[in-house]
Amino acid sequence: MHAGVLGSPIRHSLSPTLHRAGYAAAGLSDWEYTAHEVDEGGLAPFVAGLDASWRGLSLTMPLKVAAFDVADEVSALARAAGAINTLVRTQAGWSAHNTDVHGIVAALAEAGAAHVSSATIVGSGATARSALLGLVGLGARRVTVAARTPSRAEALRDVGDVDLQVVPLREWASTGDRAVVSTLPGGPANAVAAGHTRGDLSGVTLLDVVYADWPTPLARAAAAHGATVVSGLEMLVHQAARQFELFTGATAPVEAMQAAGREALGHTPDA
């Protein structure tokens, strides 16, 4: 059986490491997982050319929206997120899912933030929608979005039954929420948010969705102010574990996948 990850660029994807570790731990010696450089224009022909041995596809940027055009059916969660990161072959064709939401929920729950009544999202890009759905799933009824461009965050108001507040990015650490998800990429944007870190953040759990070049400036700043910081690697592992289960029908060996990811990146659980 075959599965793989598609995207552009793809050479730095950690998905092959995670899925292959899962196959090894689960004893699935007849499964293979490979990475393929595919852009938006190449997605449809790539999928059309796959034989019956292909059971699933992990999708990264820039394919998460283009996948709507190749999916035969789309889960309600993927449709609400406006993003597809998983295609699973079924008797009806290719079934589309979003496992990023599960990854966010599981990473926060594992860090002790399994139930929240309010939360903050830092950033208003594509991942913010999945973060909002995840936080609502954890019980949040009020969510504050701290954004560099507040008008962009207004598009999130159609997501779920939640009281959505929008504030400038500089106020992210002042909301009083105990659960925070940063959806900012690494680099300058992350550093800008780090510069706005203030106050005592003891009791706050911050999930930073970035996993490369860890810890990020924001993660370092939040930890220095007392927050419990969770790497985006944990989100990545849990979303991959859900994909593993959708592809294979077997229970994902999450600990083995976590260990492989941490080793590949040189992370320790508390790094």
Q: Looking at 64, 129, 238, 242, which residue is catalytic?
A: 64
Q: DSSP alpha helices (H): ranges in 68-216? A: 76-81, 100-110, 126-137, 150-153, 188-195
What is the pLDDT tens value at each position of the chain, 271 positions in all? 999 999 999 999 999 999 999 999 999 999 999 999 999 999 999 999 999 999 999 999 999 999 999 999 999 999 999 999 999 999 989 999 999 999 999 999 999 998 999 999 999 988 999 999 999 999 999 999 999 888 888 889 888 688 999 999 999 999 999 999 999 988 888 999 999 999 999 999 999 999 988 999 999 999 999 999 999 999 999 999 999 999 999 999 999 999 999 999 987 654 4
- pLDDT, position 70: 96
* Residue 6 to residue 57: CA distance in whole angstroms: 7
CA distance from start to end of the chain: 36
- pLDDT, position 271: 44
Nearest to 175 by CA among 149, 140, 209: 140
* Residue 201 to residue 228: CA distance in whole angstroms: 8
- pLDDT, position 268: 61
User: Active site includes 9?
Assistant: no
**DSSP label at 142?**
E
pTM of structure: 0.92
* Residue 217 to residue 142: CA distance in whole angstroms: 27
Q: Parallel, antiparallel, or unpaired for β 86-90 and 93-97?
A: antiparallel
SS3 label, residue 33: strand
